[in-house]
Structure 1
Amino acid sequence: MSGEAIAAEVRPVLEVGATLGEGPVWDARDGVLWFVDIKQRRVYRHDPARGATEHWTAPEQVGWVLPAAEGGMIAGLKTGVHRFDPASGAFTLHHDPEPALPGNRLNDATTDAAGRIWFGSMDDGEQGLTGRLYRLDPDGLRESGLPPVAITNGPAISGDGRTLYHTDTAGGVIWRVALDEQGLAGAAEIFTTIPAAEGHPDGSVVDAEDCLWVGLYGGWGVRRYDPSGRLIGTVAFPVANITKIAFGGPDLRTAYATTARQGLDAQALAAQPLAGALFAFEPGVAGRALVPARI
């Protein structure tokens, strides 16, 4: 492992004790952070300016939520993509991409410049190679055609919209694929690999300098890679399982990170009392504003 340590004070923001915190996303419309706890089926909305936090209970495991262009939110649940109305708390199924795979669930997502949703599925048991990557837009659902993996993660898109990053968490590989207006424009190539002893690559996001930030599950930190795949920085955490970061705040210069308690035994939990909390740190670089989803 290489890459300089990034001098950043990692501080807890919310001690929610998430079993599997995931999917942080900054909603610039209201200046709030959304994230989920997949296993507890919770959707959180945190307003840092007011110091207020709300949560809703989803009817199933919920992998992600994204702001919708027409208002409200879009959510990825176990059975598919739903519209989520925070005012009523209602979840309404929009599209089930895998009706023949009841053992799968949706896991991570992002949008491109046109507001199309790129999202992945995974085997809920984390064993079978049944996870696939999709794109959903107003014209319907498209499967990426990439080889299936057990756990898809971290779809992230470069600033110019021409590169997609796709993570095989169990395999320890982050793939890079060229994009065009129609979708994937070439074969996947390896962007970087991470040995299991250093943690498993989880969610990812691209910053304003087109570098990729990756949460390490079991790796006690977050990594920053330049566009060539070279590791250029690391941020150490006081907990082992970091799942994903999002750039937030008025200037998108605060990094919020979700974490997880899942898989930690009593001894590990005693040593990591903040496991499952939402954290924040100053990364020294701005992020990119998320484009609201259009479906």
Structure 2
Amino acid sequence: MLTADPQSVLSVGATLGEGPVWVARDAALWFVDIKGHRIHRYDPALDVGRSWGTPGQVGWILPTDDGLFAVGLQSGVHSFDPATASFTLRHAPEAHLPGNRQNDACVAPDGAIWFGSMDDAEEAQSGHFYRLHEGACIESGLPAVSITNGPALSPDGRILYHTDTLGKRIWRTALAPDGTVGNTSLFARIEDGAGYPDGPTIDAEGCLWTGLFGGWAVRRYDPTGTLMREVRFPVANITKIAFGGDDLTTAYATTARKGLDMTALAQQPLAGDLFAFDPGVAGLPGHVATI
């Protein structure tokens, strides 16, 4: 039975689980293991998982309007066909930055994919946000950071939330209907000792949930940036949540083993698993991308 306390629902031992997304057409949750070079699918009705290998580090996976998926590999954005396990390169916006990789993404109401990149060494300020829509991939113009996370969009698609993970800050930026970014302001700062803000997700009430890497929790903030709730986990590295199920009232959370030594792993045997809990609120219906 689903409870407010997170429970492991799929044991995958992900080195760096990320990017959970509920795909309604499959009635399944998809997510990735960036460092493990894997795409995972979890079917809750059958309580079974399936996975595919990827040709390199994979930051995110999102459904597309052709029935396939868009996947953010280190080499660029690819189309992915699960039936044939094949990848087709569509865009390579950072071919000139071989030290970068992709890290997180979301689909806007208009079908655009917003995604971010980062320095794989987690040092250089080389991470950028991009908007990909109907064949055009455009750099957003937002300031570069070392590790991007998100972005996520408000329910009306007019506010873009984006995270500077190492800076421990979540920002909000106004969006024009054509995707042009406007004014940016600080949304929330994660205090020292609480971990690092990882992937953000927006619920049906317009509140933002963020995973806390190294913080043993996920947090919920209201639209003004005020902390409303914290959900504690039995593992340290929570990367992102997604709302799933027929009524979008199940919260799924990806986690990571990355950075944990043997002692920590012995104390956190569920690290890297997929978790689920009752968030007490519904999520937003997902969108399919037009790339």
- For residue 62 of structure 2, what is the amino acid of its counterpart? L
The letter of the residue matching 1:249 is: G
The aligned counterpart of 2:242 is 246
- 2:219 is aligned with 1:208: no
Q: Specify which of 72, 81, 86 is matched with residue 90 of structure 1.
A: 86
* Residue in structure 2 matching 1:141, options 115, 118, 137: 137
Report the TM-score, using the length of structure 1 for normalisation: 0.96
Over the matched positions of the two proteins, sequence identity in percent amounts to: 61
CA contact under 8 A between 1:133 and 1:146: conserved in structure 2? yes
Q: For residues 73 and 146 of structure 1, what CA distance do their matches in structure 2 show?
A: 26
Pairwise CA RMSD of aligned residues? 0.9
Unmatched runs of 5 consecutive residues or more in structure 2? none
Q: Which amino acid aligns with 2:270?
A: L
Q: How does 1:205-244 map to 2 (within 5 A)?
A: 205-244=201-240
Q: Deviations over 1:117-170 (max 9, x none)?
A: 000000000110000000000140111111100000021000011100000001
Provide the rounded CA distance (Å) in 1 between the counterparts of 2:135 and 2:262.
Answer: 48
Q: Is contact 2:5–2:233 with CA below 8 Å preserved after alignment?
A: no
> In the alignment, which residue of structure 1 is the partner of 2:170?
174
Shift of 1:198: 0.6
User: Aligned residue for 1:272?
Assistant: 268
Matches within 5 A, 1:36-47: 36-47=32-43
CA offsets 1:40-92 (integer angstroms, 9 cap, x no match): 10000111101221100000100000011111111000011000000000011
Aligned ranges 1:69-84 → 2 under 5 Å: 69-84=65-80
AA in 2 matched with 1:76: G
Distance 1:139 1:13 in 2: 37
Give the corresponding residue for 2:28.
32
Q: In the alignment, is the contact (CA less than 8 A) between 2:207 and 2:220 conserved in 1?
A: yes
Q: Is the 8 A contact 2:140 2:181 kept in 1?
A: no
Q: What is the rounded CA distance, in whole Å, between the counterparts of 2:5 and 2:220 in structure 1?
A: 16
Bigger drift between 7-16 and 60-69 goes to: 7-16
Aligned pair count? 289
Alignment-mate amino acid for residue 287 of structure 2:
V
Given that 1:109 and 1:155 are in contact with CA atoms closer than 8 Å, whether structure 2 keeps it comes out as yes
* 2:183 counterpart SS class: coil
Distance 1:275 1:234 in 2: 19
The residue that corresponds to 1:113 in the other structure is 109
In structure 1, distance between residues paired with 2:26 and 2:119: 34
Question: Which range moved further: 133-142 or 80-89?
Answer: 133-142
Q: Do structure 1's residue 194 and structure 2's residue 190 form an aligned pair? A: yes
Which of 98, 102, 125 is equivalent to 1:102? Answer: 98
Cα distance in 1 for residues equivalent to 2:180 and 2:225 = 19
Find the residue that maps to 2:193 and give its secondary structure.
helix
Residue 198 of structure 1: SS of its match in structure 2?
Answer: coil
Structure 1 equivalent of residue 17 of structure 2: 21
Contact in 2 for aligned 1:13/1:277 (Cα 8 Å): yes
Q: CA deviation at 1:30?
A: 1.4
- CA gap 1:141/1:169 in 2 versus in 1, 3 angstroms: same
Runs (4+) of structure 1 exceeding 2 A deviation are none
SS at match of 1:187: strand
Residues 177 and 184, structure 1, Cα contact 8 Å, conserved in 2: no
Name the CA distance, whole Å, in 1 between partners of 2:74 and 2:181.
29
Measure the CA separation in 2 of the matches of 1:49 and 1:139.
35
Q: Which has the higher mean CA deviation after the structures are superposed, 183-192 or 227-236? A: 183-192
Aligned to 2:256: 260
Which amino acid in the other structure matches residue 146 of structure 2? A
Offset at residue 8 of structure 1 (A): 1.2
Output the CA distance in 1 between the equivalents of 2:257 and 2:96: 31
CA–CA distance in structure 2, aligned partners of residues 199 and 47 of structure 1: 30
Distance between the aligned counterparts of 2:80 and 2:192, measured in 1? 36
